[in-house]
């Protein structure tokens, strides 16, 4: 599976919960500073201070201290309905996802088996992955503050990728 390069792999966190707890604790209170669409239905949400990057197929995109990539199926919802998702029209998604800018992270958790990612924001909006094809859920969280660390789901477990 083509995941994100992990430059250093700390040995401190061996269990799924430790990986998720580490990212969750660091993301709580971080503001969304950039959101962009990748290839197909992929989305990227950047948190914290931005730095420019020239890597990737989409040219120059700012990267936050933290990032969330959802490769396949996803949805953004409020307490009453789905606002937009991976099957929404691209122009509708841009406006919808733009609502995330400036919101802070209230909660990060997983749900379902294999684990999908759910990010709840300060105003109650939530962004969730939900794989609808065979294989592992297509999400990854990135910590770029020092040596880049990324986690995702592989084989039903949260692992470095």
Residues 26-64 as b or e (16 or more Cβ within 10 Å = b): bbeebbbbbbeeeeebbbbbbbbeeeeeeeeeeeebebb
pLDDT, one tens digit for every residue, the chain (161 residues): 333 433 333 333 344 668 899 999 999 999 999 999 998 899 999 999 999 876 655 568 999 999 999 998 999 999 999 999 999 988 889 999 999 999 999 999 999 999 999 999 999 999 999 999 999 999 999 999 988 899 999 999 999 98
Strands (E), the chain: 32-37, 43-47, 51-53, 61-63, 66-70, 74-77, 82-85, 105-111, 116-121, 126-129, 139-143, 149-154, 157-160
Which pLDDT does position 56 carry in this prediction?
Answer: 58
């Amino acid at each position: 599976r083509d995941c994100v390069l992990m430059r250093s792999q700390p040995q401190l966190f061996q269990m799924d919960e430790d990986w998720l707890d580490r990212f969750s604790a660091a993301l709580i209170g971080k503001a969304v500073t950039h959101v962009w669409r990748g290839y197909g239905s992929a989305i990227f949400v950047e948190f914290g201070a931005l730095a420019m990057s020239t890597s990737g197929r989409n040219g120059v995109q700012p990267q936050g201290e933290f990032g969330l990539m959802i490769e396949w199926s996803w949805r953004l919802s409020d307490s009453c309905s789905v606002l937009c998702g991976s099957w929404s029209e691209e122009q509708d998604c841009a406006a919808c996802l733009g609502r995330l800018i400036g919101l802070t992270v209230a909660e990060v958790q997983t749900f379902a088996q294999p684990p999908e990612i759910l990010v709840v924001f300060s105003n109650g909006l939530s962004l969730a992955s939900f794989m609808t094809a065979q294989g592992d859920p297509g999400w990854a969280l990135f910590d770029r503050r020092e040596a880049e660390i990324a986690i995702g789901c592989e084989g039903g477990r949260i692992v470095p990728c």
